[in-house]
Amino acid sequence: MLSQGTAVISNASVDGRAVGAFATYNLEQVEAVVAAGEQTELPVLLLAGSSHFRHANRRLLAVLALTAAEHARTEVGVHLDHCRDLDELRWCVEAGYSSVMYDGSHDPFEQNVAGTADAVRIAHDRGVWVEGELGAVGGDEDVSTGVRTGAMTDPQQAAEFVDRTGVDALAVAVGNVHGFSPDARLDLERLAEIRQAVSVPLVLHGASGLPAEEVRKAIKLGVAKINVNAELRRAYLDAAAAALPDLVEGADAVGMWRAGRQAVQQQVVETLLAYGT
């Protein structure tokens, strides 16, 4: 079923767990994420966002994700990730997305507040919940590796941001980066201060490569949504590369896609079991 309202993330926050939000660029990845949610009987979020639209036509990917969510045997949300365009955000809200993220984190504070507040007004009119971001999570969510951390979220500024914008969830920068970075470590003390300063659930982008115990501590400190992308890309590519030599002669593209889908599903299952219970 297609997730509705903020319960999927607010319940996770109350229960001390995190909902997995998984990047999708094509049919196989959408199928894999939904299948993993059904296998584990845990809620999942399909990330069909702004960077993904650079690869897949926005309308086609949105329809694909929404249709898969509506027919799933578990709760599946469809989330617009890292949107900086209010017209695009409005389009996704009207298309039926269950949640959206307005990313003004690279703008000056007042501009971020104004843009995020506009996004909240657009989305809340349709019952759609909104994630904002404060601080700078480094890297490109599609390809990044070895990225340095950006400016971290200030706890007191986070309180002001949440109060003035009315966001339902807040993505924070506490040492996390997009993609794999062997040197990335979470500032758990800062995260705890943010948790004390704001009442909304927190979101972690860029957990790839972080020690599992560190991520579990972050969940205990209020992180209720974790975005996953790099691990899925790596799982898909590794499986496709391994299968390809045996498939080339027969031009078996379906076999390659199947291998990638199965690998992504397994990765999502492992992530859900680690962070979703």
Please identify every residue annotated as catalytic. Answer: 81
* CA dihedral sign, ordered 18, 127, 74, 79: negative
Cα 255 to Cα 139: distance, rounded to the nearest angstrom: 32
Name residue, tokens 């992308």.
Answer: 229
Cα 127 to Cα 122: distance, rounded to the nearest angstrom: 9
Q: Running DSSP on this structure, what letter comes out for residue 3?
A: -
Name residue, tokens 């914008």.
Answer: 165
**Spatial CA neighbour of 203 closest among 133, 115, 122:** 133
Q: Running DSSP on this structure, what letter comes out for residue 274?
A: H
**Spatial CA neighbour of 212 closest among 200, 202, 220:** 220
Cα 276 to Cα 23: distance, rounded to the nearest angstrom: 16
Cα 15 to Cα 220: distance, rounded to the nearest angstrom: 9
Cα 93 to Cα 77: distance, rounded to the nearest angstrom: 13
